[in-house]
Amino acid sequence: MIRAFTTATLEHFLNVIDIWTKEPQYIIPPVLRGEIISDETFSNSSNNLRRIIYRKLIPKQPKRDKVVLQKISFYNFEHKKEYLVTYEPISMSDKEIEPSDLPFYYPKLKQFSHSYISIQNTKVVEDENNFKLTEKEKSKLDDVLKESVLPNIAELVFNAVPFEGLEIELESDRFKVIWGKLLTTFLKFLKNPNYEKRVIHDIIVPKINYQDRYYILKEKYSHWIEKWPESTDPKKHVFEDVAIATFLILMWEEEGQRNGVEKKQSFVDVGCGNGFLTYILTNEGYFGKGIDISKRKLWDMFDIEVALEERIINPREEKYEGFDWIIGNHPDELTLWIPIFAAKTGYNIKFIIIPCCFHKLSGEKFTESDPHYINHIDMHIKNAGYTSEHEFLRMPSTKNLAIISRKRIFSVTEKEIERDILENIEKMQSITSLNRLQDVHHGTLFAIAEHIHFFTEVDIGI
Ligand SMILES: C[S@@+](CC[C@H](N)C(=O)[O-])C[C@H]1O[C@@H](n2cnc3c(N)ncnc32)[C@H](O)[C@@H]1O
């Protein structure tokens, strides 16, 4: 048994239990997610039982690690001012669960529990060595506690019940370290009871759908890691592109269902680089193409026909008629041009930008901090007549914000608004002077700014 004192309230304690029940991956990294199978509450049970949850722990590596079915029981012993939550692994067959049924990520324990025992004014504090206070000291402490300005004092107790014959487990250093860390993490969560996920995930694409499809696609495409011909990190590129493709495919499937359209979406990937994202989407049945200034080795290795164009995108002239979506994954100098390409193409085309390095419309580097740049992209999108939605993609990269523009800010019949937007774009293009220079060292062409006339909100405001 290990324990700590806390000033957190019972509500805080139950809040952390709730977060850990729903999101077990926060404390058990090999777990992908928890799936709640049933959740039953009892208002008047004789044994102080208040709630039972059955949940499944789904591992990240389903081929290697087993799923664990777990029973979580909540007890409220009001007379002892104790709230107890117990966790037991449950056998998925008729026979009783055994330690060998449990995967490595799950402790070899028959049961473990977390409890919250309110001690203010009710119980005398004793330290871990069972140090006893004298009666006089107890009454003094009671007086202090009565006058205490602290809202609460409670004991947080973590207990474990070993399997028969495995009592030694509890004495191991490993167990003590893990349990100590768990208690510290619990205290951290208690200090921040209003803990919420800081980033916006799973708004457009539900987490479960995403995770399930991601693992299927990851399996299908990870063999490219071994034969990656580029000097870039293969794992990073393969996993990131699989993650982006997963998100796009699920968003597009939902879009198709919502609109009752069976035909799959088409796309143009601008600044497609190694073309791997274009390849995955093509292989998954989406018609589209990738464009980049310079061809990469990978382009010649794809086992299917992938439409990849080696050419410079002239920002002023680009339009993508006949395509449904423009994709800009880390599109550098083209980032702010994508809303313009879309607006000039027509009313129905949509786009997604995953920004990375910050560039002005002129191509010059933008020096402001991230949030400012994101606001700037959003303003630019609005000026092109689109709304923007943000979603942090579930992928191993810090540059994982996706800006999705799939709705216009005017209706298809409001032709005057569209005309004003296009006029503003024309005006903006004419004062943003771009010059094309040949880079003799690399033999490639880059669009760079001759004069920097950066456009402000006022210039193209609508
Ligand atoms: C940071 S890389 C991103 C590549 C790829 N989308 C990815 O995420 O792996 C930006 C790409 O945009 C391409 N690019 C930049 N300006 C371009 C232009 N005007 N025409 C065509 N490609 C351009 C570059 O060659 C480069 O491959």
| pLDDT per residue as tens digits for the range 416-433 | 999 999 999 998 888 775
Q: What is the 19 CA–ligand 1 centroid distance (Å)? A: 41
Q: Is 252 exposed, middle or buried (0-12, 13-18, 19+ CB in 10 A)?
A: buried
Q: Give the three-state DSSP class for 449.
A: strand
Distances (CA, A) of 412 to 18, 259, 359: 46, 16, 31
Question: What's the whole-number average pLDDT of the chain?
Answer: 84
Sequence letter at residue 279: Y
462 compared with 68, residue with greater pLDDT: 68
Distance CA 351, CA 265 (A): 12
The set of residues, in sequence order, having a beta carbon less than 8 Å from that of 439 and lying 6+ positions away, is 445, 446
Atom 13, ligand 1: which residue's CA is nearest? Answer: 271
Ligand 1 pocket: which of 236, 240, 293, 438 to mutate (most atoms <8 Å of CB)? 293
Residues with CB under 6 A from ligand 1: 271-274, 291-294, 312-313, 329-334, 356, 447
Angle between helices 234-259 and 207-221 (to 10 degrees): 130
Taking the model in full, what pTM does it have?
Answer: 0.65
Ligand 1: which atom is nearest the Cα of residue 313? 20
Q: How far is the CA of 156 from the centre of ligand 1 (A)?
A: 54
- What percentage of the chain has pLDDT greater than the value 70? 84
Instruction: Give the domains, in start order, of the chain with CATH numbers.
Output: 2-191 (3.30.530), 207-460 (3.40.50.150)
Counting from 1 in the atom list of ligand 1, the atom nearest the Cα of 276 is: 9
Ligand 1 center–CA 407 separation, angstroms: 26
pLDDT at 132: 60
Atom of ligand 1 nearest to the CA of 447: 19
309 pLDDT more than 50: yes
Copy the structure tokens of residue 451: 């004069």
**How big is the CA angle at 207 (ends 58 and 29), to the nearest 5 degrees?**
40
- Contact 363/447 with Cβ under 8 angstroms? yes
- Token output for 243: 């993650």
Please give the Cα distance from 445 to 43 (Å, whole number). Answer: 73
How close is the Cα of 334 to the center of ligand 1, in Å?
A: 8
- 151-165 pLDDT, tens digit per residue, is 568 889 999 999 988
Q: What is the pLDDT of residues 19-72, one digit of tens each?
A: 889 889 888 888 988 999 999 988 877 789 999 999 999 998 888 899 999 999
Residue 269 alpha carbon to ligand 1 centre in Å: 10
User: Measured between alpha carbons, how far is 285 from 266 in angstroms, rounded to an integer?
Assistant: 10
CA gap 149, 140 in Å, rounded:
16
The torsion defined by the Cα of 175, 56, 101 and 50, in degrees rounded to 10, comes to: 70
CA 291 to ligand 1 center in whole angstroms = 8
